[in-house]
A and B are shown apart, each in its own frame.
Chain A
């Protein structure tokens, strides 16, 4: 392979590799389409993107489904979650936002979901 060809192909390969590692992402300007009470199907349709994974967790006798996304903030991506209770969108945000919101059951369930997700990733 000639040097000049390598100079073109290497950055291209790197770009493809980086973009494939990043996976599907949502952006901040998409968030205004979300409303409380949306079903899972409506949320996915409005975001135009399937979640990377779904975790179910229980706390205080309530069951929550957490849809995991990656939020692109322009520099890097962070974990971003949508929480559903009985197929109704209850809350969405970064983990820190879940910690600040007043529903304690939701916060506890998120802790369980994150722990389970961590355990699954290690297996």
Chain B
């Protein structure tokens, strides 16, 4: 039984390590983005956050690069009961994230749009919202790839 409890602890540790490998974006990072932010500055701001998917596509005569991230929008607490043999709860704070995308015009990588998939899909600027069906389709395709 004691072995089982240790195995459980090891499993939790492995799970937490796996989570740590994918670093989500923070609001403080995207607060620094502006329409005229240079590409090198964009890369510097987003550095450290994990790109979960990226795709290049052409819309009309313009080429774009879409980079997908997970944005931290909040957190929730999860509780696990560990018994060795006395039972005690272990609380883990798990981030709640939303799918976030940064779109740049190629080849100069000028910042075109940034936001959650939902925000950009209903953006007032048709030059942004019209790209989103393609962005989302590419994103779904990239998630299907092994």
Chain A residues with CB under 8 Å of chain B are 28, 31-36, 91-93, 101-103
Residue from B118, B126, B129, B130 with most neighbouring chain A CB atoms (10 Å): B118
Q: Looking at the complex, which one of A28, A32, A103 makes contact with B121 (CB distance below 8 Å)?
A: A32
Closest to B125 in A: A102
**A31 surroundings in chain B (CB, below 8 A):** 117-118, 121
Contact with A along B118-131 (1 / 0, CB 8 A): 10011010100110
Considering only CB atoms and an 8 Å cut-off, how many residues of chain B contact the other chain? 14
A to B contact number (C-beta, < 8 Å): 33
How far does the Cβ of A11 sit from chain B's closest Cβ, in whole Å? 21
Counting from the closest, the 3 A-B pairs by CB-CB distance are A32-B117, A31-B118, A36-B129
- A–B pairs, 16, beta carbons within 8 Å: A28-B98, A28-B118, A31-B117, A31-B118, A32-B99, A32-B121, A32-B136, A34-B121, A35-B132, A35-B133, A36-B121, A91-B122, A92-B122, A93-B122, A102-B124, A103-B124
Chain B residues with CB under 8 Å of chain A are 98-99, 116-118, 121-122, 124, 126, 129-130, 132-133, 136
Q: Whole-angstrom distance between the alpha carbons of A12 and B25 in the complex? A: 41
Complex contact A101–B124 (CB within 8 A): yes
Closest to A32 in B: B117
Q: Whole-angstrom distance between the alpha carbons of A103 and B136 in the complex? A: 25
Q: Whole-angstrom distance between the alpha carbons of A35 and B126 in the complex? A: 11
How far does the Cβ of A100 sit from chain B's closest Cβ, in whole Å? 10
Q: Whole-angstrom distance between the alpha carbons of A91 and B130 in the complex? A: 13
